[in-house]
Structure 1
Amino acid sequence: MNLQIVPARTGLHWAIQGVRTFWRQPLAMSGLFFLFMATVSLVSMVPFIGGALALVILPALTLGMMAATQSAIQGKFPMPAVLFTALKTGPQRKSMLHLGGWYAMLFLGVMLVSMLADGGTFANVYFGGSPITPEVVNTESFQVALWVSMVLYIPVSMMFWHAPALVFWHGLPAGKSLFFSLMACWRNLKAFSVYTLVWIGIFTGSGILALLIAGLLGDPQLMMAVLMPMAMMVAAMFFTSMLFTVQDCFSASPKEPV
């Protein structure tokens, strides 16, 4: 496994590959992303530990979406079981759970720091403990907590971007996978910047399209009925594109999903 440096324009190529691959198996990839979200929601409902447990399984479910993408590339229909590939019995499962534990601790650490800015209002809204209202969002303390969380989460996301694939497909322990993932994102920062901007544009464009459709139908209440499925579909496309970032940043190709 060797780290590769790619040009900035590769970020656009990653996004295009994700969209194209999604449309090879749109029903399967949309359904798997819905199952992804449903699994996280159900696990988070476990009393006392549900929120932390949902964070622990996120890296494994992300790997499942990558494995589903690999199946779609090969022209296969990804079955629901592929989403839980990393949680099946095997030598990588322990490392994957270690990775999930690190993710939960770091994410909760970010939330704890945000609490210093607004006393926990942002964290309560994020975890669904408090309703989000214009009055709350417009407060200065909430805005500070939001920006602090976003800034602190950037290095966390860089550490975990490639880590699930490095643990499962390349056999790295959790600690090393976090280091190599961070280095891959940093060394390819220009490509990831383009990649991020492209997806911001796609999400923004889908929102504008939903507004236009609702306007043409003459019923503003239909906007959410159009926006939510469209947002889920675009999010599924985004997750579909993640595998291509791993393949281009590391020379060794991942093995086929089991």
Structure 2
Amino acid sequence: MILHLQSVPPRNGLLWVRHGLKVLQRKPIALIGLFALFMLVSSVLQLVPLLGQLLVMSALPLVSLAFMLASHQVLQSHTPTAAVFAQPLQLTKERRRAQIGLGLLYTGSTVAVLFLAHWLDGGALARVMDQVSAAGAKGDARGIEAAMSDPALTTALGLRAALLGLLSVPFWHAPALIHWGGQGVLQALFSSTLGVWRNKGAFALSALVWMGLSLGISMMISMLGLLLGAVTLLPYVLVPVMMILMTAFYCSLYFTFIDCFMFGAPRDLPETSDTPA
């Protein structure tokens, strides 16, 4: 498939969010089930020290592509299944190797970024976490609160978020460019960077909307819990709601790709399920 890099107006970032939510609305059980399966497998793998965490990191590019494939299937009136996680590895041998190589490169890059952040903040995050652990072991609630309110924690987390955000740029479209475009790893990383840079306005707006939705819904649920005196139930409400939002976000990735590299996303998705991909 021949892909054409193109620029879209910033307002398309809002369309990506809306389309992600509408795709989820069409097949909510199937799509949320896929995200829940991913979370379950990730949790089990992370029980294996180090190796499990590395495997989960290596799989993240494939997971993003799997949700692109799932959104594509929903638009074709199909119900996606867990098979979408394996589909990226079932094409040609060259593309399978490229996807695996991309995952390994993502893991290595993430580890390097985390080491860089640790060096830049002088180990501030590690020190704060040690303080939290020590206070928790003693049952010192004030100690935990003091450690969590340390400005160094905010700085350290902000630094990691910024560095990981930059790292996501070359990997954002790379799995899809390998899968649909047949590009090699380095070419896909370069093309992805160009795609995100050319459409940085749309990506910035999309990120702001997703963050606004997450914070707004979290605050609304928290306030409602306080008013009803059901604070202890908040985690049981917030976790599934955040899972739903994360699923919609992953579904929206498909629209960022087709908008930047194939064709403009439709202005609106009809409520019926006969829209072509």
On whether the aligned pair clears a TM of 0.5, the verdict is yes
Percent identical residues: 32
TM-score (norm 1): 0.89
Q: Summarize the Cα distance change of 1:244–1:230 in structure 2 as closer, same or farther, 3 Å threshold.
A: same
SS of equivalent to 1:183: helix
Q: Summarize the Cα distance change of 1:20–1:252 in structure 2 as closer, same or farther, 3 Å threshold.
A: closer
- Computed over aligned residues only, the root mean square deviation of the Cα atoms, in angstroms, reads 2.6
> Does 1:188 pair with 2:199?
yes
SS of equivalent to 1:75: coil
Q: Summarize the Cα distance change of 1:134–1:98 in structure 2 as closer, same or farther, 3 Å threshold.
A: farther
Q: Summarize the Cα distance change of 1:217–1:114 in structure 2 as closer, same or farther, 3 Å threshold.
A: same
Cα shift at 1:83: 2.3
Q: Which runs of 5+ in 2 are unaligned?
A: 137-143, 265-275
Question: Does the Cα contact within 8 Å between 1:32 and 1:83 map onto a contact in 2?
Answer: no
> Does 1:135 pair with 2:146?
yes
Q: Which runs of 5+ in 1 are unaligned?
A: none
Aligned equivalents of 1:15 and 1:148: distance in 2?
26
Q: Which structure is larger by alpha-carbon Rg, 1 or 2?
A: 2
Aligned equivalents of 2:226 and 2:150: distance in 1?
31
Cα shift at 1:65: 1.1
SS of equivalent to 2:86: helix
Aligned amino acid, residue 18 of structure 2: I
Which residue of structure 2 aligns with residue 222 of structure 1?
233
Greater RCO structure (CA 8 Å; 6+ sep): 2
Question: Does the Cα contact within 8 Å between 1:68 and 1:83 map onto a contact in 2?
Answer: no
Aligned amino acid, residue 149 of structure 2: N
Cα shift at 1:89: 6.3
Cα shift at 1:50: 1.8
Question: Does the Cα contact within 8 Å between 1:68 and 1:78 map onto a contact in 2?
Answer: yes
Question: Any residues of structure 2 matched to 1:119-134 within 5 Å, and which?
Answer: 119=123, 121-122=125-126, 133-134=144-145
Which residue of structure 1 aligns with residue 65 of structure 2?
63
Question: Does the Cα contact within 8 Å between 2:128 and 2:153 map onto a contact in 1?
Answer: no
Q: Summarize the Cα distance change of 1:173–1:224 in structure 2 as closer, same or farther, 3 Å threshold.
A: same
Q: Summarize the Cα distance change of 1:43–1:88 in structure 2 as closer, same or farther, 3 Å threshold.
A: farther
Aligned equivalents of 2:19 and 2:122: distance in 1?
41
